[in-house]
Structure 1
Amino acid sequence: MTDIETLLAIEEIKQLKARYFRSIDTKEFDTLRTVFAPDATFDFREALRDPVLGTPEGVTEHEPVSGLENIVSYIGGALATAQSAHHGHTPEIELLSDTTARGIHPMEDTVLNGSFFFRGYGHYRETYVKLADGWRIHTSQLTRLLVRVESR
């Protein structure tokens, strides 16, 4: 790849992640279908787990979700009635080939959902694949640095 092609691919992946954040916060779950590859895996086991304090009482951890429709259904169900704000910052993206890449996206999120208020900081560790219609997330793992959950 030329330097320009490399920069273009990195920018396309940044835009892909931005579309992910926007679509989950605005509840545009059809748009979320344009973010993940058909055979994607989303590992959110650490989504509510603080690395020091552990998982809050009463919170059930789930196994990773595989497959585009399963991922969209899970995220849609988890956030359907929540108010949320997700932000990604200064990603590190490495192209591995013309059609594969990996990246780390520092992030923070705030979620208000019925009886609890949540704020977290961490990283999305991802791999990407370029399909006929553009870059897609192939694997996504959310890891945490700090989590705070409060009852309302």
Structure 2
Amino acid sequence: MDLIALEEIRALKHRYLRSIDLKQWDELAATLAEDATTDYGSPSGGRPLAFTGRDEIVSYMREQLGSGMTTVHHCTGPEITVDGEHASGSWCLSDTVLVPRYEVAIIGSAYYEDRYRHVDGAWKIAHTGYVRLYEAKMSFADLPSFRLTADMWASTG
């Protein structure tokens, strides 16, 4: 068992999630293989979201999850299998999306299914994606006591 690879892949996945939440697009790009693919099942997105190539993935994230939207992604319970320069992993996702401009909150859960590749001495995400276990969307108006008392992105968009 390659314990170093397991830890590097765990850190890679968390860096991917943190980069999205903090809108660090260059760092997000650095987590992805150049030919990475994604396949997100997102009912609120209105369609399955599949992308090919690091640039396409980062461009989508920058445009759709940029300023004015707060996201928090948590992944737990990784099951990672390493086979030489390739690896696969499954992660339980819990996420929250707040869009004050539209007064909407989305919460959900899924299992990520990932593939990783060791490229030039570092692990990269070759594929990431999920199918939702559930997704719930609600209007702030439906939550009379809801008050957003802190919003890191409020001043930017």
Question: TM-score of the superposition, structure 2-length normalised?
Answer: 0.83
- Among 37, 61, 67, the alignment partner of 2:53 is 67
Give % identity. 34
Match for residue 94 of structure 1? 81
Write the distance in 1 (CA, Å) between the matches of 2:116 and 2:42.
20
Match for residue 47 of structure 1? 42
- Larger RCO (CA under 8 A, 6+ residues apart): 1
Kindly tell me the number of residue pairs found equivalent between the two proteins.
137
Match for residue 133 of structure 2? 145
Verify the 8 A CA contact 2:25 2:58 in the aligned structure 1. yes
Write the distance in 2 (CA, Å) between the matches of 1:142 and 1:35.
18
- Among 83, 91, 95, the alignment partner of 2:70 is 83
Structure 2: 5+ residue stretches without partners: 141-157
Write the distance in 2 (CA, Å) between the matches of 1:19 and 1:43.
19
Structure 1: 5+ residue stretches without partners: 49-55
- C-alpha displacement at 1:146, in angstroms? 1.4
Question: TM-score of the superposition, structure 1-length normalised?
Answer: 0.85
Greater share of helix = 2
Write the distance in 1 (CA, Å) between the matches of 2:15 and 2:114.
15
Larger CA Rg, structure 1 vs 2: 2
Deviations 1:93-112 (CA, angstroms, capped at 9, x unpaired): 0112x210000010100001
